[in-house]
A and B are shown apart, each in its own frame.
Chain A
Amino acid sequence: MLQNHWAKQDDIEQLHADIRREVDEAVEWAENSPFPDPSELLDNVYERS
């Protein structure tokens, strides 16, 4: 990508940083969320459960 000038080194590093931040935020959100309630067991199998 660098050889063909499709992206600069800074662009790639920025992309990595953005993805890492997004994943870290998602992990943090998931770990801070409560487990689902068993009443949700049948949800989302079809449009209307």
Chain B
Amino acid sequence: MLMTYLEAVRRGIWEEMERDPNVFLLGEDIGVYGGAFKVTAGMLDHFGEARVIDTPISESAIVGAAIGASLMGLRPVAEIQFADFITCAYDQIVNFAAKCRYRWGAAVPMVIRAPSGGGIHGGPFHSQNPEAWFAHTPGLKVVTPATAHDAKGLIKSAIRDNDPVLFFEHKALYRRIKEDVPEDDFTVPLGKAAVVREGRNLSIITYGAMLYVAREAAETLAREGISAEIVDLRTLVPLDDQTVLESVKKTSKVLLLHEDTLTGGMGAELAARISEKVFEYLDGPIVRVTAPDTPVPYSPPLEEAFLPNAAKVAERARWLTHY
């Protein structure tokens, strides 16, 4: 069935709520209003106010309540209205949820959904990509779907997972991406990357909205006789080393692409792993294309300059191919 990325997330949550009465939702404006982006539209009417809970404007309280509920056997799906606001709940996530299992064997089967990413002229507090903050914290899982298919399959896996999962939905994809998604009860496993385009000359490793930038760049490069392979990580923790390393061994050149800023981003971790494990296969330096180390600018021409795009990727890919 043809559906948007947004609708795919919505269907995935809906199906899990039908399947398991322990799944419930909480967040700001998710009930009566249906969510800032309408991901939870219609859910209050269908599932009732015991399972679709409008909360006060307190991310710390939302996540704290979700952790408590999950410790008592429920499976909360908390919405952070914009991923940027997650900082208010940072202590609950990093110092509590991430460490419950380690400290006293308690499972926290909680999902935190957070619309992230730029390209919508949202400015520095509505456009960030905070995935690396959490990928650095042992005990959390981090999921970043790029396609509608994966958005549905991964949210279902995240809800069924027995560890806390940060689920970053790229808000610029919500209504832009529309594709055929199965209506049946399928899941996409956490921790499994996908080779979404086969290539010979270099590997572009990416995730989230940058998948589409990689695809556009790969089309341009193909017309110039450069064959780019694209790996969509889909999940950042657990990270699918094997698929990444196999691709690098095949092409011997690697370009790491993410919308998050450069320093300490996922590209740095990937570069280290590739260098440690398949160094002898590399025929060129590991290249990163990312946003620069600044807050996300509000001004349209500055945001355009800030975000990685296909031209920037193609330029670095050409350089790397001819290295």
Residues of A within 8 A of B (CB): 35-38, 40-42, 45
From residue 292 to 323 of chain B, which have CB atoms closer than 8 A to chain A?
292-295, 297, 299-302, 304-306
A41 touching B293, Cβ below 8 Å: no
Assembly CA distance A14 to B293 (angstroms): 44
Tell me whether A35 and B292 are in contact in the complex, defined as CB-CB below 8 angstroms, given that A41-B305, A41-B306 are known contacts: no
Is there contact, CB below 8 Å, between A42 and B299?
Answer: no
Q: Are A40 and B302 in contact (CB-based, < 8 A)?
A: yes
Pick 9 A–B contacts, CB within 8 A, sort by A. A35-B300, A36-B301, A38-B301, A38-B304, A40-B302, A41-B306, A42-B292, A42-B293, A45-B294
Q: Which residues of A contact B294 (CB under 8 A)?
A: 41-42, 45
Contact A45 B299, beta carbon cutoff 8 Å: no
Interface size class of B (residues with CB under 8 A): 10 to 19
CA distance A35 to B299 in the complex (A): 7
Q: A36-B299, A41-B294 are in contact. List 19 more A-B contacts (CB 8 A).
A: A35-B299, A35-B300, A35-B301, A35-B302, A36-B301, A36-B302, A37-B301, A38-B301, A38-B302, A38-B304, A38-B305, A41-B292, A41-B297, A41-B305, A41-B306, A42-B292, A42-B293, A42-B294, A45-B293
Report the separation of the CA atoms of residues A45 and B296 in the bound assembly, to the nearest whole angstrom. 11
Report B-chain residues with C-beta under 8 Å of the C-beta of A45: 293-295
Residues of B within 8 A of A42 (CB): 292-294
A7 to B304, CA, bound (A): 48
The distance in angstroms between the C-alpha atoms of A34 and B294, with both chains bound, is 21
In the bound complex, residues from chain B placing their C-beta under 8 Å from that of A40 are: 302
Distance, CA A38 to CA B292, complexed state (A): 12
What's the least CB distance linking B154 to chain A, in Å?
Answer: 33
* A5: min CB distance to chain B, Å: 35
Q: Which chain A residues lie closer than 8 Å to B295 at the CB level? A: 45
Closest chain A residue to B291, Cβ basis: A41
B315: min CB distance to chain A, Å: 16
Instruction: List B261-309 residues whose CB lies under 8 Å from chain A.
Output: 292-295, 297, 299-302, 304-306
Nearest to A44 among chain B residues (CB) is: B294
Taking the closest CB of chain B, its distance from the CB of A36, in whole angstroms, is: 5
The residue among A35, A37, A38, A45 with the most chain B CB atoms within 10 A of its own CB is A38
